[in-house]
Chain A
Amino acid sequence: MRGLLDSSVEPLWVGGEIGSWTRSRAGHCYFSLKDDRAQIRGVLFSREAAKLPTDPDEGTKVRVFGDLTLYEARGEFQLVARTVEAEGAEGLWRKAFEELKARLEREGLLDPGLKRPIPPFPSTIGVVTSPTGAALRDITSVLQRRAPWARVVVAGSRVQGEGASYEIAEALHRLAKTAQPDVIIVGRGGGSLEDLWAFNEEPVARAIAECPIPVVSAVGHEVDVTISDLVADRRAPTPSAAAETVVPDTPALLEQLRRSPERLGRALRRTASRPRLLLADRMRRLEGSMQNRLVPARRSLEQGRDRLERRISALHTSRSARLATISGRLQALSPLSTLARGYAVALRPDGPVVRTVDAVQPGDDLRVRLADGHVDARVTSTTPHTNE
């Protein structure tokens, strides 16, 4: 009966809602498919199950393509599925994408603060892509045009199909570890959602997050945003755009370089002329400061002179007055004035004044000093006063 069923019923599409879904350790998926009237059991063997981006939830509306067969041990019909697709746009793919994105977000791997800057002048550019794909050609032709001085190291990897995400992750790891480029472009050209799927898988996301070198992700065309794009340090819409992003424009750079010696020269000349300017400036300031300091000095000098003059003239006046007084007194004390009053002074010829009678003998010569001259005389006798 099973043989009859297997040979006579063509593979068919069955639509419905997932009633239950379990995945065994071996990777086989057992499920039930139901609608409001009936249900059928089904199995998706591991080979096919590995292609599923994620497991559908209970209640997900799906379409299953497969072969109807009889599970003889239980006596039940069973659908051996070749593919399971969720209905609605992108279905299970979208679900898997959102699940992984949410998980990475929770881990903080999508944090904009983690994005590293792309070095402006990379010497070596690593590329992880298919060595035979269009993406590599696009990248190298842009680099040849914009930065032919750069070195490109390609770590080849399959970019689609089963296991591709592990190959991409491994290539990234190997490239970072051995060639140590300054920046890495990881990506591929456009394709269907399924073709690009490796870049939505966890191994690629983790490898990019762990990569010690800044990574630019460039997967497919502009509209395709992958997990790889979200985790990378920079997202480029296409592989060509990624190549543009990682290198500077050489003609512009050369132009800037050629202006540099001129700038250096100008700066040098400015520095060289600065001591002279500085000296002139210092001199000017010194002169100014001297002037400022001299003004008060000169003023105090003038004041001093004035005071001195006044003092001298005052002194002079007072001295003159004193002199007059003194000279008057001197006049009074002078013996000449006494003589003028009629007194005379007797002097011995050898000089001394004769003060007593005993000082002379009769016969001695005397000079008698008068106010207007002298008289020479001789002693005839001496007579002392008698006290009566």
Chain B
Amino acid sequence: MSDSTTADRADPTLETRLGRLEEILARMESDDVELEEALTLFEEGVQHVRAAETLLSATELKVEELLASGATQPLDLDDA
């Protein structure tokens, strides 16, 4: 969980966004949410949907090779 919290501050991962979206939906569909809160949640929810759609719209799988140094470099499977 600490990893996803770190990611929250930088650029949320797909998992963070989808997880948060589920939370928002559950909260908004509950009976005790105030209108003020519901409005804020609605905006946040829509943002997560848009961002997740953008993340998911990538078409080219990124494949990298882990080097001994710990760095990575792109791995072209056709050359291998």
Contact = CB atoms under 8 A, between A and B. Distances in A.
B7 to A, nearest CB: 9
A267 interface: yes
Given A148-B58, A267-B38, A268-B39, A140 B14 contact: no
17 contacts: A121-B18, A131-B65, A143-B61, A150-B62, A171-B66, A174-B70, A175-B66, A182-B13, A253-B56, A254-B56, A257-B18, A264-B41, A268-B28, A271-B33, A271-B38, A272-B35, A275-B35
A152 interface: yes
Interface string B58-80: 11111111101010100101001
Contacts of A257: 18, 21, 49, 52-53, 56
A179 interface: yes
Interface residues on A, range: 35 or more
Interface residues of B, number: 40
A132 B75 CA distance: 11
A121 B25 contact: no
Contacts of B77: 136-137, 140
A263 interface: yes
Most buried by B among A123, A132, A147, A155: A123
Interface in A223-270: 250, 253-254, 257-258, 260-261, 263-265, 267-268
Given A149-B56, A150-B62, A261-B45, 19 more contacts: A120-B18, A121-B13, A122-B15, A140-B61, A140-B77, A144-B60, A148-B59, A151-B64, A154-B75, A171-B66, A257-B53, A258-B49, A260-B25, A264-B25, A267-B29, A267-B38, A268-B28, A272-B38, A275-B35
Given A123-B13, A149-B55, A153-B72, A260 B45 contact: yes
A121 B38 contact: no
B65 to A, nearest CB: 5
A141 to B, nearest CB: 9
Contact of A260 (B3, B49, B56, B72): B49
Nearest to A182: B15
Contacts of B55: 149
Interface in A148-178: 148-156, 171, 174-175, 177-178
Contact of A180 (B3, B35, B60): B3
Given A123-B13, A154-B64, A179-B72, A264 B24 contact: yes
Q: Which 6 A-B pairs have the closest CB atoms?
A: A178-B70, A267-B28, A149-B58, A121-B15, A271-B38, A144-B61
Nearest to B22: A260
B42 A268 contact: yes
A261 B28 CA distance: 12
A119 interface: yes
Classify the interface of chain A: helix, strand, loop or mixed.
helix
B5 interface: no
A153 B66 contact: yes
Contacts of B62: 150-152
B15 A148 contact: no
A149 B14 contact: yes
B25 A263 contact: yes
Interface string A301-315: 000000000000000
B61 A150 contact: yes
B25 A267 contact: yes
Most buried by B among A120, A132, A155, A257: A257
A293 B24 CA distance: 44
Contacts of A132: 80
B61 A148 contact: yes
A9 to B, nearest CB: 47
Contacts of B33: 271
Nearest to A264: B45
A271 B32 CA distance: 9
A67 B54 CA distance: 68
Most buried by B among A122, A150, A174: A150
Contacts of B80: 131-132
A333 B66 CA distance: 136
B66 A154 contact: yes
A151 B3 CA distance: 17
Interface in A39-65: none
B61 A156 contact: no
